[in-house]
Amino acid sequence: MPNFRDGFSSNAWSTTIPGVALTLALSACSTTAGTDRDDDRALVLTTFTVIADMAENVAADRVEVASLTRPGAEIHGYEPTPDDLVRGQDADLILENGLGLEAWFQQFTDRVDAPTAVLSEGIETIPVSSGGYEGEPNPHAWMSPDNALVYVDNIRDALTALDPEGEATYTEAAEAYKEEISEVGSYLETELSGVPESSRALVTCEGAFSYLARDAGLTERYLWPVNAEREGTPQQIAAVSEFVRDNDVPTVFCESTVNDSAQRSVIRETGAAMGGTLYVDSLSEADGPVPTYLDLLRHDAEAIVAGLTDRGETP
């Protein structure tokens, strides 16, 4: 496959007149051999579906946005396929979360010339407190609407650097989207503030809710901090069961992309109920329950409120 990137590295962008650079990028896309892309727009590739949806809201159709991982994928230990690497070569810009989420992503940055923007840059991180990841930042920063506003600003800046002529469009779209995110953030805090004080504990499989719990004033407990090979050990199950019993936690939860058998063990040991599935690391397919990031936040808020206020009810 011919390397259309020859002589057109990401470094060249910053030294080329922006409008010319974009024209080159567009023509490079449309003449790429070896893939079936027939879109003339620049390609913005994201590492997972949640940030792809955010980027689409800011891009306003000026660029094509695609996620490397598919809906429902396990994104922490993802194994890129040869096809992924080919798609990566088409990218004009790559958006990643950062905070150690995409350890598998190094394979792309080694091979692809496109610039990469790290969307969590500027976030006040929360360190992981257990499970062998102590002190490392929890990567799930997008689960806080406040943080999401920073993501959107970073997306706007990255798109503007790629396509300066679109600056006004990106700025306007970003502001409108940030208003929507803020509305969902207010809804979330209002809803979750209705959870009785005695039930304000969010027990999940993965520790993906540290940021949301911080925003909503919930105490967070989880079986394992970040999806990895050793999930749901007897020690993890025992520790969470003890917390659930001691605090009379009515409902525990598990995320859509992981096996919930360890949480089922907690339920057997404690008599807690299983709440609705929570979505964190991936959106659903378009016809599923959470096709967008805003749907994901709303869905999780409703599931948490229902689980913690109406014992035994599973939405």
Task: Please give the Cα distance from 63 to 108 (Å, whole number).
Answer: 20
**Among the residue ranges 169-177, 232-240, 274-282, 294-302, the one whose residues contact Zn ion (CB under 5 A):** 274-282
Task: Please give the Cα distance from 151 to 122 (Å, whole number).
Answer: 9
DSSP 6-65: TT--HHHHHHS-HHHHHHHHHHHHHT-SSS-----S-EEEESSHHHHHHHHHHHTTSSEE
The minimum distance between CB 68 and Zn ion, in angstroms, equals 16
Closest CA to 177 of 152, 157, 147, 143: 152
The minimum distance between CB 270 and Zn ion, in angstroms, equals 24
The minimum distance between CB 112 and Zn ion, in angstroms, equals 24
Q: What track of x and - describes contact with Zn ion for positions 117 through 156 (by CB under 5 A)?
A: ----------------------------------------
Closest CA to 180 of 148, 206, 207: 148
For Zn ion, the closer of residues 140 and 156 by Cβ is: 140
Q: What six digits make up the tokens of 260?
A: 């919930």
Q: Of residues 203, 208, 283, 297, which one binds Zn ion by CB under 5 A?
A: 208
Strand partners, 65: 44
Query: How would you classify the pairing of strands 43-46 and 93-96?
Result: parallel
Q: Give the total of residues touching Zn ion (CB under 5 A).
A: 2
8 Å CB contact between 138 and 125? yes
Q: What six digits make up the tokens of 252?
A: 């525990």
The minimum distance between CB 205 and Zn ion, in angstroms, equals 10
The minimum distance between CB 283 and Zn ion, in angstroms, equals 13
Task: Please give the Cα distance from 53 to 151 (Å, whole number).
Answer: 12
**Among the residue ranges 3-11, 111-119, 155-163, 281-289, the one whose residues contact Zn ion (CB under 5 A):** 281-289
For Zn ion, the closer of residues 180 and 231 by Cβ is: 231
**Among the residue ranges 26-34, 181-189, 200-208, 233-241, the one whose residues contact Zn ion (CB under 5 A):** 200-208
**Among the residue ranges 10-18, 35-43, 110-118, 201-209, the one whose residues contact Zn ion (CB under 5 A):** 201-209
**Among the residue ranges 121-129, 186-194, 276-284, 293-301, the one whose residues contact Zn ion (CB under 5 A):** 276-284
For Zn ion, the closer of residues 116 and 138 by Cβ is: 138
The minimum distance between CB 146 and Zn ion, in angstroms, equals 19
8 Å CB contact between 227 and 206? yes
Q: What residue number has its CB nearest to Zn ion?
A: 281
92 touches Zn ion (CB under 5 A): no
The minimum distance between CB 208 and Zn ion, in angstroms, equals 5
Query: How would you classify the pairing of strands 64-67 and 116-118?
Result: unpaired
The minimum distance between CB 66 and Zn ion, in angstroms, equals 21
User: Is 259 strand, coil or helix?
Assistant: coil
Query: How would you classify the pairing of strands 219-224 and 251-252?
Result: unpaired
Q: Which of residues 2-31 bind Zn ion (CB under 5 A)?
A: none
Q: Of residues 26, 281, 303, 308, which one binds Zn ion by CB under 5 A?
A: 281
Q: Which stretches of the chain bind Zn ion, using CB under 5 A?
A: 208, 281
